[in-house]
Amino acid sequence: MQVLYSRSRSIQQPIFLRAIFPSTRAGEILEKAKNHIHQTYDISLQVYAVEDAKWGRFACTSGEPNKLAKAWYECAIRLSEGYFNFYEQARFGINFVLPSHFVDLLLFDGDLIRIAHRSGTKILVKHKCLMRSAERVVQINAGIVGDASFKCFEEAVYLLAIMIQDKLGLALSAGDAFYQERATDNIVRYLNQLNERNVVFDYTSQREIDKEEPIIHPV
């Protein structure tokens, strides 16, 4: 699947994409790669560890949408190679963290289902907010580990970053309670918890079947 980077912007502002990793191993892989990622793609990648926490890492990236997408594509490759047994069993996905009201807007406007459809990925939207916050996880899952899946993941990240850029004021609302990690947070339980109000858009099985690519209109 070809990733399209043809959209132009009169003003390019850095876009922030944060992600949470339940695995300490995944965080260590990104920590070692952050300088290379920064120099190669001209983006910022910071990986935070919570003191005494055993559940993993929190990563924050910022940059232009196309560069973010390419950087996360390389992160996907490095994570799958460095932690293959986990991603082979769980299939490859990244848990991005976004303000809850912004997620609701993306759902209402139909942006998330269009991103999943166009990129051929599975998007899981958690209904419940993270602890002590007004933020939720939006997981982009590319399916079976492999370069074709990673290209789908890359396109989904790009499209999500474009949506954030188009609706930047809402995406970075200062009124939100942003998630602050604590060692006692049971992130694995949060991510695995089933909820009938979770939203899932799964187009991983239609990559070769459905050639139509719906257009995502900016607001």
* pLDDT value of residue 147: 77
* pLDDT value of residue 186: 83
Residue 102 tokens, joined: 């912004």
Q: Are 54 and 67 in contact (CB under 8 A)?
A: no
Q: Are 30 and 70 in contact (CB under 8 A)?
A: no
* pLDDT value of residue 50: 74
The number of domains in the chain is: 1
Q: Let me know if residue 7 belongs to a domain.
A: no
* pLDDT value of residue 61: 93
The more confident residue out of 45 and 174 is 45
* pLDDT value of residue 173: 60
Best CA proximity match to 66, nearest among 111, 141, 6: 6
Helix locations, the chain, DSSP H: 24-41, 65-82, 84-90, 100-108, 111-119, 147-166, 168-171, 187-192
CATH number for the domain that contains residue 24: 3.30.310.210
Q: Are 184 and 52 in contact (CB under 8 A)?
A: no
**In whole numbers, what is the pLDDT of the chain averaged over residues?**
80
Q: Let me know if residue 51 belongs to a domain.
A: yes
Report the share of the chain in percent with pLDDT over 90: 38
Please tell me what DSSP assigns to residue 63: E
CA 179 to the chain's CA centroid: 16
Instruction: Tally Cβ neighbours within 10 Å of residue 4.
Output: 12
Residues 72-89: b if buried by 16+ CB within 10 A, e if exposed: bbbbbebbbebbeeebee
Q: Let me know if residue 216 belongs to a domain.
A: no
Place of tokens 């990129």: 119
Instruction: Summarize pLDDT for 90-110 with one digit per residue, the tens.
Output: 577 889 999 999 999 999 999
Q: Is the pLDDT of residue 216 over 80?
A: no
Q: Let me know if residue 6 belongs to a domain.
A: no
Best CA proximity match to 176, nearest among 137, 138, 136, 133: 133
* pLDDT value of residue 12: 64
* pLDDT value of residue 87: 61
Q: Is the pLDDT of residue 121 over 80?
A: yes
* pLDDT value of residue 126: 93
Report the share of the chain in percent with pLDDT over 70: 79
**How far is residue 177's CA from residue 116's CA, in Å, rounded to a whole number?**
27
- Full domain range(s) for residue 150: 15-206
The more confident residue out of 81 and 135 is 135
Q: Let me know if residue 77 belongs to a domain.
A: yes
Q: Let me know if residue 136 belongs to a domain.
A: yes
Q: Are 119 and 155 in contact (CB under 8 A)?
A: yes
Going by pLDDT thresholds of 50, 70 and 90, the confidence category of residue 8 is very low
Residue type, 160: L
Residue 131 tokens, joined: 């602890």
